[in-house]
Structure 1
Amino acid sequence: MIEPVAFFRSPFSTKFGIPRQSGIVEDLGGRIVFEPSFRNPDAVRGMEGFDYLWLVWGFSENPDTHNVTARPPLLGGNMQMGVFATRSSYRPNGLALSSVRIERIDIDTPCGPVVHVLGADLMDGTPIYDIKPYLPYVDCHAGARGGFTDANPWQTLHVVVPEEFASCFHTAELETLKKVLSLDPRPRYHDDASRVYGMPYSGKDIRFTVDGDVLRVVGVEDLQH
């Protein structure tokens, strides 16, 4: 039995819209908040000397599955690959691995040390089971093959945010949101230009449509708490 050492705080209150891999949206911010037994500055001593971390975390909103195949979104969601040849979120033990960049470390907060990171693909409240430093000399393999991902680059969307909705965000926050939306949050089998989608993000409900390769924001409302 493993227990979380921390929980992640993210602008995403649901799974919908979260980047499908860490690092794709480089400026997407989040925080690692430790559990009480690890709220000790000694637990992060030396972390400031690294640029990136590995997070071992759990797909807390997905049931464990013993399926031996998965349908990668990059292949349109209609082609099966072996589950161990994919990064499907439906896994035998629901464990995930993400590389994130350290933005800063606040040592003295009411919650103990808090690590601010960029580029994460975790939902708000996600349990983190372990944290390790990223080591360039062993973790980077230049020229490595990427399997089916090499021949199927992700196609991004052109995002249109009318000024009336763009004004709801600070400049940096808007640019990050546009990068998230450009990755096409919809399930890969969806293709209905008239459908309006909703994506919770940073306390707001982002409403949008997709027609061809153009995503248009059609509404932004504060979420009710």
Structure 2
Amino acid sequence: MHFEFEPIGLCRSPYTDKFGIPRQPRLVPAAEARIELLPPYDREEAFAGLEGFSHLWLLFVFHQDCLAAGWRPQVRPPRLGGRDKVGVFASRSPYRPNPIGLSAVAQHGLERQGKRLALRIAGADLLDGTPILDLKPYVPYADAIPEAEGGFANARPQARFQVGFSEQARHQLAEQDADGRLRLRELIEQVIAQDPRPGYMDRYPERREFVLQLHAREIHWRVDGDRAWVTSVHPPRAAKGSSIGL
């Protein structure tokens, strides 16, 4: 059998680079995004009744690199330090036979800008431009299973770093997000606190300086023990070099 699907929309998120995307949804509440709906699915009547649901499921395509890379029968989950292997079907790796992802996120309603209709969401873990295949309401009595076992990912990950900001970074944040609309400081703090570095980074203790992108801004930060310091926040350079995690 062969199936073909077309996206109903595209996710517009603060994650303009794969390095920095949280490993699960809702770990970074400040990650607000929107699903820009594509015709003919950009019709309010298709969403009638959704306002009564606080959360929804997103089905999406891991579109960057994964489509060309193909699937792998075994992968190294970051939760296991990037060393131990498990079967791909025991993981949420993007390198799957069909690179389809599933995320539960908060939803904050529709908004229309001119002729475009979008659905606002929060707690997203999707790269900017991710194709959305479908969305479905999250139904607590059926979808929440309190007695479920979580295998090697049974507990919610704890924050790895306390995050501080240099004086320069604070000034740059004030200039670039003066009205707080992007929630940029919260977003940076929540993303870095989770330690977005690859699981194998403990092999390279000498590596202390890192760069990630959020809302197309370049965030420079360094690690000092159990603290992470944001040193600068500015738009990406014209000639951007590769960053760790890619």
Do both proteins adopt the same fold according to a TM-score greater than 0.5, normalized to the shorter chain?
yes
Q: Structure 1 unaligned segments of length 5 or more: list them.
A: none
Task: Summarize the Cα distance change of 1:25–1:153 in structure 2 as closer, same or farther, 3 Å threshold.
Answer: closer
Report if aligned partners of 2:12, 2:36 keep a CA contact under 8 Å in 1.
Answer: yes
- In structure 2, distance between residues paired with 1:215 and 1:141: 35
Report if aligned partners of 1:31, 1:115 keep a CA contact under 8 Å in 2.
Answer: yes
Amino acid in structure 1 at the alignment position of 2:31: L
Aligned partner of residue 43 in structure 1, secondary structure: helix
Amino acid in structure 2 at the alignment position of 1:198: V
2:154 aligned residue (138, 150, 155): 150
Paired residues in the alignment total 224
- In structure 1, distance between residues paired with 2:99 and 2:114: 31
Amino acid in structure 2 at the alignment position of 1:129: L
Report if aligned partners of 1:67, 1:83 keep a CA contact under 8 Å in 2.
Answer: yes
Q: Corresponding residue for 1:205? A: 218
Aligned partner of residue 220 in structure 2, secondary structure: strand
Aligned partner of residue 189 in structure 1, secondary structure: helix
- TM-score, normalisation: structure 2: 0.84
Q: Corresponding residue for 1:121? A: 125
Say whether residues 1:51 and 2:62 are aligned partners.
Answer: no
Cα distance, 1:195 vs. partner? 4.0
**What is the percent sequence identity of the aligned residues?**
37
Q: Corresponding residue for 2:38? A: 35
Report if aligned partners of 2:31, 2:187 keep a CA contact under 8 Å in 1.
Answer: yes
Q: Corresponding residue for 1:174? A: 185
Q: Structure 2 unaligned segments of length 5 or more: list them.
A: 239-246
Cα distance, 1:168 vs. partner? 2.9
Say whether residues 1:92 and 2:94 are aligned partners.
Answer: no
Report if aligned partners of 1:27, 1:118 keep a CA contact under 8 Å in 2.
Answer: yes
Task: Summarize the Cα distance change of 1:96–1:195 in structure 2 as closer, same or farther, 3 Å threshold.
Answer: same
Cα distance, 1:213 vs. partner? 2.2
1:105 aligned residue (90, 106, 110): 110
Aligned partner of residue 148 in structure 2, secondary structure: coil
Report if aligned partners of 1:101, 1:117 keep a CA contact under 8 Å in 2.
Answer: yes
Amino acid in structure 2 at the alignment position of 1:132: K
Displaced runs of 4 or more, over 6 A:
none
Task: Summarize the Cα distance change of 1:151–1:118 in structure 2 as closer, same or farther, 3 Å threshold.
Answer: closer
Say whether residues 1:9 and 2:22 are aligned partners.
Answer: no
RMSD of Structure 2 on Structure 1 (CA) = 1.9
Aligned partner of residue 17 in structure 2, secondary structure: coil
Cα distance, 1:223 vs. partner? 2.5
- In structure 2, distance between residues paired with 1:142 and 1:152: 14
